[in-house]
Structure 1
Amino acid sequence: MSQVSEERDERVEHTPQPEPADQPEPGGQPEPAKKDSRAGRNLPAAIGVGLVLGAAIIVSLLTVRFIFIGVIAIAIGVGTFEFAGVLKRVANIKVAMIPVLVGGQAMIWLAWPFGRAGALTAFVLTVLACLLWRLPGGADGYLRDISASVFASAYLPLFGAFAAMLVPPEDGVGRVLTFLIAVVASDTGGYIAGVLGGKHPMAPSISPKKSWEGFAGSMVAGIVAGILTISLMLHGHTWQGAVFGAAIVLTATLGDLVESLIKRDLGIKDMGTLLPGHGGIMDRLDSLLPSAVVSWLLLSAFVPA
């Protein structure tokens, strides 16, 4: 026993000890540690980037509204690069980049003059091009790569094409703003309610910071935004605005959870680093993309062009 004790003492004596923490100068105060917000964001940077993006969108809509389709096309193109890059880097999944990029732009721009027919035709041709593009790579990983390519084509440009289809009608500015304001209200209401009173996790295994209190805040803010925008900008009924707002909250939340699952599956925190305080473009498109589809469907039914 004494030999074991002596060996243990010797190991302890020769074990490197951690350096003592820096002490403040006499009379000085230790520098406070920087704290992230409860939502896990660099809040000042996130607000600043959000204001810049919002200003760019509003300027495009209030000058030549069709410029907004170009904004969508650029965002989808960058998001596609981010998504494909992460899949290649983390999981060695190879998206058929050229067909998805070219086909994605075709979906968005053909949705302008031809509507659903243009977007869906471009999507089908993009899938066929992906099948052909991947053939020279052989059988190893073929199904995996094609599945990722088709998913990327549907999740980004096809969904984005529905946002582009909001623009052409005479009241297109009001339709786009109704869609965007509802999504922003959902995000903002959920953030405030979650920070102030979030206690009950909504999906702890997917997104630990998302709470039922935050979801309730999103629902209240989204419904109010839907009622105001549809009533004032599109001259619809109050009940239509309430239904629209609630539906957008559901799709925005679904989009956020889906992207959280994708990132957890890949073992990453953000899809990119382009937008300080937000991550990448994909990290901002998560709630917008599925909401664009539902916005077009409901606004087409409630307020026909």
Structure 2
Amino acid sequence: MLGWRLLISAILIPLLFGLFYLDQRAGVSAPYLLGLSCLLIVRGSWEITDLLTVRNLVPSFRLVCGLSLSICVAAWVPFLQGASSDPQTLSLALMAVTYAVSVLIIFLKGAIQFQEPGQSMETIGAEILSVSYMGFLLAMLAELRWVLGPETGYLALGSLIISAKMGDIGGYTFGRLWGKTKLVPRLSPGKTQVGGYGAIFGAALGAFLWLHFTISLFHSGWMASPWYWSILFGAIIGVVGLVGDLCESLIKRDVGKKDSAELLPGFGGLLDLLDSPLYAGPVAFLLWKLLPLITVAN
């Protein structure tokens, strides 16, 4: 199983970065990334609403998918229109407002469909969680494409994906080879304390390699900062990504399921692939704003 997971990762990550290469050449509007994000939202919305259709929870796939797509597209509007004055600030504002309106729409739908006590609030909560997870967090993840301005390209987004997935691989590898003591046995029986250290190590290594050997490919005037900043970035992403994995496990365990769906053998569903990057996206955005991860050549 370890070899299979490594093989799938070795196939998926180059394909993803091939798509990013094409999108980089397409310009600031990032049409390929928008298309990929919409596809992920459709599939992810189906998975999470199907996952949460238990007990008194009856989330609507069409509502969750429609609202999640609206949040994502709203965040893209300034870049599609070529807004010249701080498009990312406008993008974040539109994304936040669309998310707030989505919550209002979910409540309105619950009020219209109300029949008797015992189901409405559970379903409303499930739909808000689903839209937050697949709509807001995925749109926030995509914002890394422009975090340092239009010239950022996929440097920041790539740093998160490499760190998060290297953390997943490191955690799984260390856990399988040397892990004995369970990390959170009731929530995720397969995760060990050694695996947690492996996740941090793998994420830190991935960030270091990415930020020290690819920066010049994105901008000729940028250079790598001192090594400890990339290590710090990766280590934080490793911790946050591990928490994101545990939080997705919380959803699955509470509804009594092992995987979110059957998409890829050894990985589960799309949500099982996206859990770490989605959870770590907002943190990565803040780190890129706060840490000197690049230096500008004189």
Range of TM-score over shorter length: 0.7 to 0.9
Q: Is the 8 A contact 1:87 1:94 kept in 2?
A: yes
What residue number does 2:232 align with? 243
* Residue 120 (structure 1) aligns with: 96
The yes-or-no answer on 1:82 pairing with 2:41 is: no
Matched, 1:255 2:244: yes
RMSD, aligned CA = 2.1
Corresponding residue for residue 83 of structure 2: none
Contact 1:96 1:130 in 2 (8 A): no
Query: Which residue of structure 2 aligns with residue 297 of structure 1?
Result: 286
Amino acid at match of 2:50: G
- Give the total of aligned pairs: 263
Residue 178 of structure 2 corresponds to residue 204 of structure 1: no
Which blocks of at least 5 consecutive residues in structure 1 are unaligned? Answer: 1-36
Deviation digits for residues 229-279 of structure 1 (CA, Å, limit 9, x no counterpart)? 234444333232122111111111111111112111111111111222211
Matched, 1:70 2:35: yes
Equivalent position of 1:129 in the other structure: 105
In 2: Cα distance, 1:216 partner to 1:247 partner = 12
- In the alignment, the residues of structure 1 paired with residue 227 and residue 35 of structure 2 have an alpha-carbon distance, to the nearest angstrom, of 32
Whether contact under 8 Å (1:100, 1:126) holds in the other structure is no
CA deviation after TM superposition for structure 1 residue 149, in Å = 1.0
Aligned with 2:154: secondary structure?
helix
Which range is displaced more, 247-256 or 237-246? 237-246
Distance 1:304 1:134 in 2: 45
Residues 1:272 and 2:231 aligned together: no
Paired residues of 1:99 and 1:129 also in contact (CA < 8 A)? no
User: CA 1:50–1:220 in 2, change beyond 3 Å: closer, same or farther?
Assistant: closer
1:111 and 2:75 equivalent?
yes
Are the aligned partners of 2:225 and 2:293 in contact in 1 as well (CA < 8 Å)?
no
State TM-score, norm by structure 1: 0.80
Query: Is the Cα contact below 8 Å between 1:57 and 1:68 reproduced in 2?
Result: no
Contact 2:60 2:127 (8 Å CA) reproduced: yes
2:200 corresponds to 1:219 = yes
Q: Is the 8 A contact 2:144 2:285 kept in 1?
A: yes
Name the counterpart of 1:189: 170
Larger Rg, first or second structure (1 or 2): 1
Scaled by the length of structure 2, the TM-score of the pair is 0.81
Percent identity over the alignment is 27
Assess if the C-alpha contact under 8 Å between 1:185 and 1:222 holds in 2: yes
Q: Does 1:59 align with 2:18?
A: yes
Structure 1 moving runs of 4+ over 4 Å: none
Aligned residue among 138, 142, 147 for 2:120: 142
Structure 1 residue 177 and structure 2 residue 158: aligned?
A: yes
Give the superposition deviation at 1:178.
Answer: 0.6
How big is each residue's C-alpha offset from its partner over 1:206-240, in whole Å with a ceiling of 9 and x where there is no partner? 11111111111111221222233234444333232
